[in-house]
Amino acid sequence: MTTPKSPKPSEAILASRRNFLRTATVGGAAAAATGLAAPYVNAQAPIRWRLQTYSGAPLGAHVIKPQIDAFNAAANGEMVIDLYYADQLVPTDELFRALQNGTLDAVQSDEATMASPVDISVFGGYFPFATRYSLDVPALFRYYGLKEIWEEAYAEVDNVTWLSAGAWDPLHIFTKEPIRSLADMKGKRVFGVPTAGKFLSRYGLIPVTVPWDDVEVSLQTGQLDGVAWCGFTEAYEVGWAEICNYALTNSVTGAWFGSYFANTASWEKVPPHLQELFRITIDQSHYYRAVWYWGGEAKLRVEGEKMELTSLPAEEWAQVVKDSEGFWDEVAAASPRSGRVVDAFKKYAATMEKAGYPYR
């Protein structure tokens, strides 16, 4: 009799996390349906939206699909959102234009990746050292004025309504050849997000843009040497850890800033109770992601066997942290509103340091 082969640690972790996805999705839909005595019959055709996310399908299964499934169940036939993944309807760098002209009714992305034409777009995605933990993002928006700044910025843009921001994973660099010093970054072509890529390029890293679904093939063919796009959870979930051999433990920032946007005309056609339902399920999505990433990052960094961990020397990492101060000042000088965001980052960082454990 053949003894069943034990799964590798990363396979066991991913299996348990996919079960979490199924439970959360089914539970969310069931909760939405609870208490409905009879099926709702809508005399009119439901409102129908097209929403495109920045993420490919394997990642989108976690960062947005549970929310859309729950919304569609709870909307009870009054509204249906059709979900599209990266580049399915429009290229990712055209998301904002498509949202503004009504090709899309809603978008989930960061500002920098979708080329949002606002002066704060540089802060979308990974802004170097703005955060250490995922909870830093909602805290900055709720208590340090970022919510009001984002609303102000998008109020100046025609036909786009910003709805909410949340946290994703920390930023790590995953490569086929090791990075053990800043010199090892030189010439490495990585798929990455714009702001962090611009900052890291001062050390010789070369940011390369390709469609999300092409990243794996680009790594295999040598067009890319690695990715600077995500944390351990995504690298394992989408298969990049199968190709990249090394993971740099130094994290340039602790959480990605991502947002939800709606076409204003589409949003205003949605009745208030469904607007509120959409906002509630956005919060559900923020919560789901926070748990999924936070637990996965730690387990896969410790128990994942597919990539060797490397770190920069302490003195070199200290230089990177110091360099980020100048980068902050450069961005702050770009516009008064950018200056207000950087001031909020500085005040928040100082508060967290003074608060000490468990905040810093």
**Mean pLDDT, each 10-residue run in order, the chain (360 residues):** 61 62 47 41 81 95 97 98 97 96 98 94 95 96 98 97 97 98 97 91 94 94 96 94 97 95 98 98 96 93 95 97 96 97 98 95
C-alpha 237/C-alpha 296 separation (Å) is: 10
Helix axes 136-143, 146-155, angle to 10 degrees: 70
Predicted confidence (pLDDT) per residue in 340-360, tens digit: 999 999 999 999 999 999 999
**How much is the pLDDT for 19?**
61
Cα diameter, the chain? 72
**How much is the pLDDT for 263?**
98
C-alpha 297/C-alpha 304 separation (Å) is: 10
> How much is the pTM?
0.87
> How are beta strands 47-53 and 79-84 bridged, if at all?
parallel
Closest C-alpha to 258, from 212, 304, 237, 289: 289
CB 122 within 8 A of CB 269: no
Contacts of 214 (CB under 8 A, 6+ apart): none
Structure tokens at 258: 């991502």
Closest C-alpha to 89, from 129, 35, 49: 49
Question: What is the H or E stretch that residue 173 is in?
Answer: strand 172-175
**How much is the pLDDT for 34?**
38
The domains of the chain, with CATH numbers, are 18-33+43-168+256-299 (3.40.190.170), 172-254+305-355 (3.40.190.170)
How far does CA 260 lie from the centroid of its chain?
A: 11
C-alpha 253/C-alpha 166 separation (Å) is: 15
